[in-house]
Structure formats: C-alpha cells, structure tokens
C-alpha cells in the first residue's frame, strides 16, 4: 500500500469553538475551508488536519503531535490560555517526553518531543 497523504479529522458538535481552539493550539487560523463544514490545516506536505462540523456526538479522537521543542510549545499554549499538565519522561527512551490533555469536547491531544 502506498500512502500519499494522511488526513486526521475531529468531529465537532460546536464547530466554531473547536475550530478556534485548534487554531490556538496549532498557532494559526485554518489554511482552507474545502466545504462549509470543514476547516483544514496543512501540517506538512503529506499531513492534513481537519475539524468537521457534526451535530451528533461522535466517537472521540486522539491526536498526538511530535514537536521539536516541547517546552516552547508548553509556554506558547499556556500563554494562549490552554491548561496543560507537566510532561512525563517516556520509559524506555532516552529523551522522549509526553503530555496529554483534552480539547473542549473531550478528544485527547498528546504532545511529544525527543527520541
């Protein structure tokens, strides 16, 4: 199987609130709106992230983002009003650290750095 792109999507009962929260997390407004019910960020050439308008509660989603500098992201997100726990060292790895928190609708968001 060849994979050209990866789409990560989160269903949102409150589309505007979720889109704005994710814009804060990512650090910019969405890149495009391919349809009225979808806000989309181009994270890399091969990875797209979408918030989808869904009036019904859907299953929850987990999104983990590997970042080059976790401490810088913690500071930036804290300044944006997003509450975060302290990161923990991942057992079995030299420098891997992880923290996990929830978006306003209960989806799990993880931030990871190191290797």
Q: What is the pTM of this model?
A: 0.71
- Token pair for residue 85? 């726990």
Q: What pLDDT score was predicted for residue 54?
A: 84
CB contact at 8 A, 10 and 52: yes
CA distances from 90 to 11, 71, 83, 93, 99 (A): 29, 15, 21, 6, 10
The verdict on residue 1 lying in a domain is: no
How much of the chain, in percent, has pLDDT values that exceed 70?
A: 92
pLDDT tens, residue by residue, 98-107:
999 999 988 8
Phi-psi region of 67 (alpha: psi -120 to 50; beta: other; left: phi over 0): beta
Domain limits at 91? 6-113
Number of domains within the chain:
1
CA distance 71 to 75: 6
The number of CA neighbours under 13 Å toward the Cβ of 47 is 7
The verdict on residue 24 lying in a domain is: yes
pLDDT tens, residue by residue, 5-42:
778 988 899 999 999 999 999 999 999 998 899 999 99
CB contact at 8 A, 91 and 106: no
Supply the CATH number for residue 89's domain: 3.10.180.10
Output the CA angle 25-28-34, nearest 5 degrees: 105
């Amino acid at each position: 199987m060849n994979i050209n792109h990866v789409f990560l999507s989160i269903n949102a009962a409150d589309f505007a609130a979720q889109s704005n929260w994710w814009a804060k997390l990512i650090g910019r407004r969405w890149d495009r709106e391919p349809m009225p019910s979808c806000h989309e960020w181009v994270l890399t050439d091969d990875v797209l992230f979408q918030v989808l308008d869904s009036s019904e509660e859907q299953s929850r989603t987990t999104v983990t983002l590997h970042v080059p500098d976790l401490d810088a992201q913690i500071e930036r997100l804290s300044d944006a009003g997003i509450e975060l726990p302290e990161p923990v060292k991942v057992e079995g790895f030299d420098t891997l650290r992880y923290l996990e928190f929830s978006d306003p609708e209960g989806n799990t968001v993880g931030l990871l750095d190191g290797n």
